[in-house]
């Protein structure tokens, strides 16, 4: 049994919140480089170059990539051979988010109640998802989610008879309805199967998968490729001003489901798709 003090998680999550909001991940940088080379529309290419310049300045001058520094989404994969000490785990995670947003001078966008909307002034509480896995390590993924793109996300409760074509239509409908509001070029996370809430969680998790790491399932891998081509064929383009780069990637996760259902969730993220992963 390995023992970890929860203060270690607090310290790491603080750093990860700041890092995610200032630096683009490796896979996103590479995808943007490819997009600049392949973009056919002059205005689209110009916008992509401007986005790259913005991200370069953000990293060099420690300015947030986007003024919406998001609501912190934290995935915690806990090895079953770990014992935590030193305090409450969830409080420690939220303390890391609090310190990251306060000490990092990041915008505080979280309100205490969805109706009365009083700002918590420290960007907590975070959205935290736990899972228990084999081993004695903790894998933490911090993914600040801005709401320009989050508001464009959708859940479709399809009928089994809708099949694969229905899934394709749902994905394309969500992207076309989002248009420029999701700050394209976007990354499209999709969850297929499970239940109402499971497909949405899978779609969110799909956004954190490296863009150069396609699904290991053959038909899903082909679906990712096909949907990326179809989305880029919509002509929405960078900034919604036209072009051949509407999305940088489509990542799809699947799960078992009920004989009577075919849930599909589409979680859209903007061109920064912030996420940082650490293993402790």
**Domain-located, residue 54:** no
Residue with tokens 């200032």: 22
Could you say which residues of the chain have pLDDT below 50? none
pLDDT in tens, 246-257: 999 999 999 999
**Domain-located, residue 47:** no
CATH number at residue 133: 3.30.360
pLDDT number for residue 185: 97
**Domain-located, residue 110:** yes
**Domain-located, residue 114:** yes
Structure tokens at 60: 């060099």
pLDDT number for residue 125: 98
Provide the residue range defining the domain that includes 247.
148-272
**Domain-located, residue 115:** yes
CB 126 within 8 A of CB 93: yes
Q: Where are the beta strands (DSSP E) in 103-240?
A: 127-133, 138-145, 154-158, 186-194
pLDDT in tens, 196-219: 999 999 999 999 999 999 999 999
pLDDT number for residue 262: 98
| Exposure b/e, 43-75, CB count within 10 A at least 16 = b | ebbbbbeebbeebeebeeeeebbbebbbbbbbb
- The answer on 109 and 178 residing in a single domain is no
Closest CA to 253 of 242, 267, 271: 267
How many domains does the structure of the chain reveal? 2
pLDDT number for residue 189: 98
CB 194 within 8 A of CB 271: no
- The answer on 158 and 130 residing in a single domain is no
pTM for the model stands at 0.95
Q: Which helix (H) or strand (E) holds 7?
A: helix 6-22
Q: What is the DSSP letter of 111?
A: B
pLDDT number for residue 49: 95
pLDDT number for residue 179: 94
pLDDT number for residue 257: 98
- Total number of residues shown for the chain: 280
- The answer on 200 and 122 residing in a single domain is no
- The answer on 138 and 166 residing in a single domain is no
């Amino acid at each position: 049994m390995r023992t970890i003090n929860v203060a270690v998680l607090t310290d790491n999550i603080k750093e990860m919140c700041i890092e995610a909001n200032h630096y683009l991940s490796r896979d996103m940088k590479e995808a943007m480089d490819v997009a600049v080379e392949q973009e056919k529309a002059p205005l689209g290419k110009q916008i992509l170059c401007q986005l790259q310049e913005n991200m370069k300045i953000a990293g060099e001058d420690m300015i947030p990539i986007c003024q919406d520094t998001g609501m912190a989404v934290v995935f915690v994969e806990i090895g079953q051979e770990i014992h935590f000490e030193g305090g409450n785990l969830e409080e420690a995670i939220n303390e890391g988010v609090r310190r990251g947003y306060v000490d990092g001078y990041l915008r505080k966008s979280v309100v205490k109640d969805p109706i009365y909307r009083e700002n918590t002034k420290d960007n907590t509480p975070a959205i935290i998802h736990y899972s228990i896995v084999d081993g004695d390590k903790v894998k933490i993924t911090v993914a600040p989610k801005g709401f320009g793109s989050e508001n464009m996300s959708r859940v479709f409760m399809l009928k089994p008879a809708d099949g694969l074509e229905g899934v394709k239509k749902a994905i394309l409908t969500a992207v076309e309805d989002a248009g420029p509001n999701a700050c394209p070029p976007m990354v499209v996370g999709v969850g297929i199967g499970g239940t109402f809430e499971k497909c949405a969680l899978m779609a969110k998790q799909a956004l954190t998968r490296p863009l150069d790491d396609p699904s290991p399932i053959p038909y899903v891998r082909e679906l990712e490729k096909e949907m990326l081509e179809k989305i880029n064929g919509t002509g929405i383009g960078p900034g919604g001003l036209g072009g051949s780069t509407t999305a940088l990637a489509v990542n799809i996760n699947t799960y078992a489901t009920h004989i009577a259902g075919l849930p599909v969730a589409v979680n859209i993220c903007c061109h920064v798709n912030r996420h940082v992963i650490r293993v402790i």
